[in-house]
Structure 1
């Protein structure tokens, strides 16, 4: 209470807070009754007198179940127990939580220390196995396009960009280059990197409870770098990366190919083209909002196209049949077809198969070809082969796989077995 307040009135204060049921906010006297009893002209004045005369004090148990908090209520409308969620901060015992968090983190950090790996420079021997003709081309393109430092480590972002760009058809070739020792991956520490991520999240959530020493220890652990590096291994017969790069180029442009090389090249070209077709299917079906099932039946139709048409014709076929499928889907959906849910994922393939059969039986190309999507990216490998090996500086989209293979073999010639 504040008896020194000019308008202090103890009887008014008692009447104002007298209640029938405090939790339901049922008071003995309404504001209007109090106006009349104490000759007060407005609710605002009544609340001002009460607020400056005294207050109720509520004492509650904090969530630690050990400490208490006080909550002061000055006027009736502040006593809304339905709004306790807005006072959650008062329920938190920061001191008890600080003690609890620090105790937990001390145990956590002791366990974390045990999982820090011991980095070791595992010895690796210079490669001795010969690269195949196609593997040389992949490796030459890689080391020509990626800026490799004096430590022979491939920068992570450039490595990932190259692999993403050359994903169509080169996966097995890159794997072989690793197996033969020309590329070397340092130890992988995926589990520790995940532990670092967990620690980083704990630091973000509870750092307000950490002491200075704990913060410093956590920052030290988070700064540890155990990323996996990709190292290039230069054969012993070369003195430098530049010398090896030049040597690889000379070997490639002067090579004549063997029967096995032709098989490797054919496999690479067809794998590359099939993955490109899948990209175009995804692009055009997303654009037309046409669902499709990526199964062996669809791939069978894609292979029929792959062997018969160039990529520009294939994109034209896909775009036309996606449009036809979209119209068919609209029709069967609005006709209330009971099998719509089952049929919808196969309409595109049915349309594609029917049109391909028509073209192949007639031995015709589509009437028009189609430009590839405006953001289509051509692989560095394709560009190198077109410019330095085939020598016609044309993108492969205008050729079938068999035509590309024929141009390639004609340009380099066959080795006498």
Structure 2
């Protein structure tokens, strides 16, 4: 809502606040010296106490929650109790009995049901007047038009690639005016939370204004993987045994059946086969719980940590929608293993970020370097999956669909100097980004390299 409209509505509004929201109204109906004045410099507005601000949070601040697991359940509850009335939640998982010790919106009778549907129903029954719309699907099935309808996005995911995807969507939605300045109405704050045991983090991302999720990708370790020869021939760790059972043996025994990691029968089979292999090589540590952790990539979760990080995220959500206090600047770490220690710092924008950097990136390569080696270099530098490369005039390499792969795979064995001229631009797309986000590299052929 424009600042002037909020100010006028606050002056004329005489609506009596609801009794159950007295604490929220004490925060939003009176002035404060802690309002987010820095927003005015960014063109985002400043805090205006009054019922119009309360009504904006209630009626217009449409929020999207990513994930309905341990952190997501807490976020949904906190949002509902913080004055947000229009909430959507996306989660593609179903409820497992192992979730019940910390995902408090679920009960034993809910096991096997979609998390998003059950969580939405529970919150709406508990907090009257709140509408929670569930989406039981992969968040990548939605395009940018879906995400553009929200005022705020909060992530409670444990999947880095999914967060990268949403981050690229929100960055791509930011528009500029005729003078080249950012249009504040197109900036959708992205609040990201994550927990692991007694540790957690919360951060506030204002697309194009602050560092984005991709800027901090180097702080996340690459996903764990094992060489296939180690899994098959010389296992040394219990995880190797589980990987052998779930990857190699499952394919041999059930070639046309996709493993369901939420199926107790499937997981029991994997556990038994992994245990047999572990006993053969005298490797201790294979348990049913450990098997689930490896196959489902389960991150250790503690309910209290989820509650703390969720409170931080929703606190920032309320500040972002009302400007009632200074927004976190911009990364908060919680370390609770040996006490309660928190640290907030500014994560700066990465000059060579593949998503939010405005300058064209430069790639220096020797002209004799094979295209397949250039692709490896780019993939490692930007942590891509299956990059597609296009020059200013033609496709250089397309991994999909099969017809384009067949037409371009011959370029893999060609030197980059045969395919591109010095200074030519290369556009790279990848599944980790939304369709209209791409890397733009300027190729510099450096003959001094060997």
TM bin, normalised by shorter chain, reads under 0.3
Larger strand share, 1 or 2? 2
The structure with the larger Rg is: 1
* TM-score normalized with structure 2 length: 0.23
* TM-score normalized with structure 1 length: 0.24
